Amino acid sequence: MKDVRLTQLKEIAAIRLGYPFRSGIERDDQGTIGVIQMKDFDEFNRLNLSDLYKVQIKDLEDWHLLNPGDILFRSRGISNKAAIVTEEIKQVKGIDHFVASASLMVIAVKTTKVDPAFVLWYINHPLGQRQLSRLSRGTNQQMISKSALETLTLPLLTLERQKLIVELAALSLREQEILSELTQKRKVYTDTALRMLAQGSLNLEKEGRV
């Protein structure tokens, strides 16, 4: 990145660990706190809260709470990618607040000169992923510590350029979605056609026509 100023993530964002549950996370249908976990990431690294765990937490502090614009980073596992908290979480019925599980780190951008969506894009882009690969520990189950994540180096671009990158990335993601949908529909069509052909062949054999 010639002629582009670089900065470390810790200079533009505060990073904290997810909520430290003392035991496993157990569902509570009466719970008003939503716990976002790694399982809530979809294949395009967006949050899918259709299977959100609800809990009750008595010792909840303000700094535990998630806000729109917070980035949730998968600190362990075979994928060290991230998702962003959007305004849509406010529309989830029956939930007063959200927290992240301990397997996630929360990245909160602390300057108006950086778009959180740009940070998200960079982390998930091969440029960021190559850095994270060097920072990780482990083999099959890669783990990245908070101190290592803080040293991730990003380019300091103008807000205008950041937003342009984010917009182009969103268009590319939509294209991937459409192609994925078409592939799935084609598979369903092909599987159905093959099944019908196979059943037709079997019926012909039973009737002695083949």
The total of other beta-carbon atoms located within 10 Å of residue 207's CB is 8
How far apart (Å, rounded) are the C-alpha atoms in residues 181 and 47? 18
Q: Residue 203 phi/psi, 5° resolution?
A: -65, -40
Q: Which pLDDT score is estimated for 136?
A: 82
Q: Which pLDDT score is estimated for 132?
A: 92
Q: Which pLDDT score is estimated for 190?
A: 85
How far apart (Å, rounded) are the C-alpha atoms in residues 98 and 66? 5
Q: Which pLDDT score is estimated for 135?
A: 86
pTM for this structure? Answer: 0.81
Q: Which of 190, 194, 172 is nearest to 182 (CA)?
A: 190
Which residues, 6 or more positions from 86, have their beta carbon under 8 angstroms from its beta carbon? 47, 68
How far apart (Å, rounded) are the C-alpha atoms in residues 155 and 206? 69
User: For each of the chain's 210 residues, which pLDDT tens digit applies?
Assistant: 456 899 999 999 999 999 988 878 888 988 999 999 999 999 889 999 999 999 998 888 899 999 999 999 998 888 899 999 999 998 888 899 999 999 999 999 999 999 999 999 999 999 999 999 888 876 566 789 999 999 999 999 999 999 999 999 988 878 777 887 788 888 888 888 788 888 876 554 555 554
At the top level of CATH, the class of 6-156 is alpha beta
Q: Which pLDDT score is estimated for 153?
A: 96
Q: Which pLDDT score is estimated for 196?
A: 82
Strand partners, 104: 74
* Burial of residue 65, with CB atoms counted within 10 A of its CB: 0-12 exposed, 13-18 middle, 19 or more buried: middle
Q: Which pLDDT score is estimated for 210?
A: 45
Q: Which pLDDT score is estimated for 118?
A: 97
Residue type, 136: S
